[in-house]
Structure 1
Amino acid sequence: MQILTPEILTGQLVRLEPLSDEHVEGLRVAVQDGRIADLWYTSAPRPEAMAHDVEAKLDQAAQGLMLPFAIRRLADDRLIGVTTYCHPIPAVPAVEIGYTWQAGSAHRTGTNTEAKLLMLSHAFEEWGCRRVSFRATWFNHPSRRAIERLGASFEGRIRNDRILRTGEVTDTAQYSITDGDWFAVRHHLRHLIASNTTSAS
């Protein structure tokens, strides 16, 4: 099974649409919701750099190195962020989920959890992946907590392996979910989404 094949992934809260130039304006608005780009440890681009960021991701996609998505919130049909499959290892097969950011108003609403459930389900059940990894800047504690909440296992601290947009060199926290973990993780994520939906109703 070939991995990183573009496809629309739809849940109850969000729809993941393969990224295109048509998403630039909506994402420019979304990144200003909560001033996500002001957080030095995130991958969110500044509004004026959004077109360049989308172009760079599409270039990576054309090389078979990434499959980026725009995240659309179904409740109001607004774009709320970006997420990607990246760093594919077809021989295993394995893939990473990363370069994720969501608008401030989407935090703690279940949209990130459902987006990850959609992507993990597709990776394990459609592509037959044996492993899905996640990485976060060591000091990005909100992202690390979100990854841990998914049920991913912490694998270690990788020293001095990334350069931030500020020019600083920093460390990475690495996590993974394997195909052996997937049954329990899937049940856990469905429970989180159901609990969030119930509490919001």
Structure 2
Amino acid sequence: MTEGAADGREERTRAVPTAPLPRPQPVTLVGHGIRLEPLSTAHVPGLQGAVTDGEIHRLPFAPHVPAPEAVEGSVARLTADVEAGTRLAWAVVRATNEQVVGLTTFMNLALADRGLEIGNTYLAGSVHRTGVNTAMKSLLLGHAFEELELLRVEFRVHHLNLASRRAVEALGAQQDGILRAHRILPDGSVRHTVVYSILAPEWPGIRTMLAQRLGRCRHV
């Protein structure tokens, strides 16, 4: 047998199922001091407080964060997407005080290819650098790889949003490339989109790393 034939056989043994995954359903995720609740209109007041906390709706490179008066409409659009099966959306609740501190979604569902994107995420300014983001990503990635049995989870970040890029890289995600002149933003600026991903075989090591990091967090 030639070397090329042996390599081809090895590649065939790595094949993944070709049947599309079933449509994922809203579910509550709990752990590490937070709770991710399926998004509903009941979360509107809490999210209005979250976007004013640190005025995160005014931060650069974050057009997805609504102003307080736009939260209700944003939630309505997101919940409509969930009903249509194109997205899952959660409110992030801090367990210690039951405070709604943010929002996150599974988006760009590619069920035939076993992939999706974690995006449209925002967190109140007061929980930045507290471990909440790490806890949230740990729950989302665990659900994606362990329950939904995905092959790939993707993150997309504005090329100038260095803080978000560092946060995604700290998760262990690998940069796949940059989509140049990918989007025209509401202010007329052009966004180059940096694409990152985590693959299923990488998740066990990343899960261990995140668990160690969360173990060092005093406040989540």
- TM interval, shorter chain, is over 0.9
Q: CA RMSD in A?
A: 1.4
Distance in 2, matches of 1:10 and 1:185, equals: 19
Equivalent residue letter for 1:20: S
Give the counterpart of 2:110 among 75, 81, 89: 89
Q: Distance in 2 between matches of 1:3 and 1:133?
A: 18
Cα distance in 1 for residues equivalent to 2:23 and 2:166: 28
Say whether residues 1:15 and 2:40 are aligned partners: no
- Of 168, 183, 186, the residue aligned with 2:189 is 168
Secondary structure class of the residue paired with 1:181: helix
Equivalent of 1:46 in 60, 67, 70:
67
Q: Which amino acid aligns with 2:97?
A: D
* Percentage of pairs with the same residue: 40
> Aligned pair 1:111/2:127, yes or no?
no
Q: Which of 56, 59, 69 is the equivalent residue of 1:36?
A: 56
Alpha-carbon distance in structure 1 between the residues aligned to 2:193 and 2:158: 5
Give 1 or 2 for the bigger CA radius of gyration.
2
Is 56-65 or 174-183 further displaced after alignment?
A: 56-65
Tell me whether 1:149 sits opposite 2:166 in the alignment.
no
d(CA) in 1 for partners of 2:183, 2:143: 28
Unpaired runs of 5+ residues, structure 1, are none
Letter in 2 for 1:138: H
1:40, 1:166 within 8 Å by CA — same for their partners in 2?
A: no
Cα distance, 1:79 vs structure 2: 0.4
Per-residue CA deviation, residues 62-86 of structure 1 (Å, 9 max, x unaligned), is 2211101000011111000000001
Matched residue, 2:12: none
Number of equivalent positions: 199
Counterparts of 2:217 and 2:186, CA distance in 1: 34
1:78 aligns with 2:99: yes
Mapped contact 2:92–2:102 kept (Cα < 8 A):
yes
Shift of 1:33: 0.5
Structure 1 residue 149: Cα displacement: 0.6
- Distance (Å, rounded) in 1 between the aligned partners of 2:187 and 2:66: 12
| Deviation at residue 59 of structure 1 after TM alignment | 1.7
Deviations, residues 23-67 of structure 1 (Å, cap 9, x unaligned): 111100111001101013112111111011111111211221110
CA deviation map 1:140-185 (0-9, x unaligned) = 1111111111110011111111232323221111100001111111
Q: Which runs of 5+ in 2 are unaligned?
A: 1-20
